[in-house]
Every structure is written in structure tokens, then in C-alpha cells.
Amino acid sequence: MTIVISALQYLGYVLIFPGFLFCFLAGMLLCGIDRKLVAKMQKRVGPPVLQPFYDFFKLCGKETIVPASASKTTFLMAPLVGLAALVVIQLFIPVFSFSAFSGMADVIVILYLLLIPAMSVILGGAASGSPYAGVGLSREMVTIISCELPLVLVLLAVAKTVGSALGTGLCFSLSDIAAYQAMHGSLITKISMLPAAVAMLLIIPGETGNHPFDAAEAETEICEGLLAEYSGAPLGVYKLSHAIKMLTLTSLFVALFLGGLGTGFVALDGIILFLLCVVLTAVSISFVHAITARLKIEQIFKFYWTLVSGLALISLVLAWYGL
């Protein structure tokens, strides 16, 4: 009996609160707010906040064309797998003190799980056989490589800080990090974590492939690159995945640096988390989008491996010497 109850509870986790439904609504809202803010900063009115929902449902109503030269199964299944993987990542990220499954995976696992959605886009695009997708694939992969190094540095810095504070030397488990912050306040208050936080803010748009790091989906140069051949519902799923990825990365930032702000009530925490995500999106995605122009791919790489990695490295060294 209790097993059934707990099974239903976990199913609820997966499907409703930190899981699918929450991801869908919050992610789409986040995306809409982002578009609205960018428009505002460009002195425009901008689309309605619900625009991503309209786009998604419209795409669901469109015809899905499978090109003759595409391998159908990969082409159609890749979006779904990527979406599922993203939802699972969201489950592994604790919502302040509440953590659905975050006892099951640590930060390095999440670092790798974040590759799965990217892989799904890459393989799906490659399966379409379009040369535009080939170019987009190359750029997407280079963007991933670019973001990997600074992200690793940031995670290691956090692990070292929390670990040395907990006395275990190092700590990879997100739930431990959350618990530590619940006790000792957010990590962002530490001097040593500030550069890492800034670096993470700069990593978020790169990981989500937002402007100006969207050379992989450059719609004017390479016809949206990897998505060039996608139409209809699969395209909508990719747009949804992109929205959810924004939510995932921002809430990862919250879990890493802004933990301990929760109240303990799950529903309320969810709202607080979403608000924090909105703020982070406004700062790290919309603002950067509004004030920059698209970078070339080698510029992206250079930017991440010099400036951002430098920031993360500073805070890693600071953390190493226990500041």
C-alpha cells in the first residue's frame, strides 16, 4: 500500500511538480518573458508573454515533413528523447531544500546529462541530412566544447568550497550543497564564489544557445542550422526543449549559488524558484541579447576559454586556498 502511495508520489514528482508540467509551464513563461524583455530593451512592444505557447500549439497543428534523405526514426525520436532527458535533469536539481531525486546524481553527472539534449539536437539534425544541419552541428559542438571548460571550473569551485566547509574535502552532491546553503546562507555571499557566479551567468546563454552565442541556429546565415529540416510538432518539441533548458540552467544557478532562500513549503518554493529564474534570465539572457550582436564561432570559443574560464579559475583558486 505504502509502496503504491510512494510510487504515485514519485510519479507526481516526475509528471507534475518539478517534472514535466512545471517544466512546460515555467519554461514557456520564462521564454515569453525573455522575448518581452528583449523587445522592451529594444524600445518595442514585443510579443505577448504567452507567445511561446501559441508558437508551440501552432507547430503542433502543422504538417510534419520527413525529408526523403532523412532516416525517419532518428529524425522523429531525437526530439522526444532530448525533452525527456531535460525533464529528468530538472528533477535532479533540488528546489531549495526540497529535492525530488537529487540524491541520485551529483553535479558531474548533471554536467554530462546536459550533453544528452544537445546530442539529441545534433543527431536529429544530422539525421535530416541537410548540409545546413552539418554546418550547424559543427558550430553547436564547438559551442558545447567552449562552455564545457568554464562550467567544469565553476562546478569544481563550488564542490571545493562546500566540501572544505563540510569537512569532507569536496562535495559533489547537489542535495548536500543545498543543505549547506540552507544552513550557512547562499554561496554567492562568499567572495570566492562571486567570479564563479558571474562566469555561470555568462555560461547560461551559451549552453542554451541564446543570442549572441547562437551561431549554431543562425537563421539568416545557415537557415537555423540543425533545425533547418524540422517542421511541425518535432520543431515545437525542440522549441520547448530550448525553453526548458533555460529554466534548467537558471535553476541550476539557483541551486548552486542562491540556495537557502527557500521557505520550506514546496509550492511556495516553486514560485520563489521561478521568480529567481526570471530575474536570472533577465540578467543573463535578455540583457546580453539586447546589447550584443551575434558572435562568430571562433569568437565564442575564444570568449569562453579566455574570459569566462579565467573568471571561473580565479574563484577556483580562491576556493582552493580557502578564501
| Piece of 126-134, 181-189, 256-264, 270-278 that binds another protein (CB under 8 A) | 126-134
Determine if 159 is a binding residue for another protein (CB under 8 A): yes
Contacting residue, 84, 194, 266, 276, with another protein by CB under 8 A: 84
40 vs 275, beta carbon nearer another protein: 40
Assigned C-alpha cell, 290: 539586447
Site string for another protein, 176-205 (x = CB under 8 A): ------------------------------
Determine if 71 is a binding residue for another protein (CB under 8 A): yes
The residue with cell 522575448 is 35
Sequence-distant (6+) residues with CB within 8 A of 192 are: 157, 161, 315, 318, 319, 323
d(CA 145, CA 98): 32
SS3 call for 169: coil
Dihedral (CA of 58, 293, 112, 168) sign: negative
Determine if 134 is a binding residue for another protein (CB under 8 A): yes
Determine if 170 is a binding residue for another protein (CB under 8 A): yes
88 vs 261, beta carbon nearer another protein: 88
d(CA 153, CA 165): 18
Closest CA to 290 of 33, 49, 38: 38
User: Rule CB under 8 A: which of 93-122 touch another protein?
Assistant: 101, 103-106, 108-109, 111-113, 115-116, 119, 122
214 vs 272, beta carbon nearer another protein: 214
128 and 115 in contact (C-beta within 8 Å)?
no
Within a 10 A sphere around the Cβ of 42, how many other Cβ atoms? 11
Determine if 220 is a binding residue for another protein (CB under 8 A): yes
Determine if 300 is a binding residue for another protein (CB under 8 A): yes
CA Rg, the chain, in Å? 19
Determine if 62 is a binding residue for another protein (CB under 8 A): yes
Sequence-distant (6+) residues with CB within 8 A of 35 are: 46, 47, 51, 52
Contacting residue, 9, 72, 185, 323, with another protein by CB under 8 A: 72
User: Rule CB under 8 A: which of 6-45 touch another protein?
Assistant: 11, 14-15, 19-20, 35, 37, 39-45
Determine if 245 is a binding residue for another protein (CB under 8 A): no
Determine if 53 is a binding residue for another protein (CB under 8 A): yes
| Piece of 135-143, 182-190, 202-210, 267-275 that binds another protein (CB under 8 A) | 135-143
Determine if 227 is a binding residue for another protein (CB under 8 A): yes
Closest CA to 47 of 35, 55, 38: 35
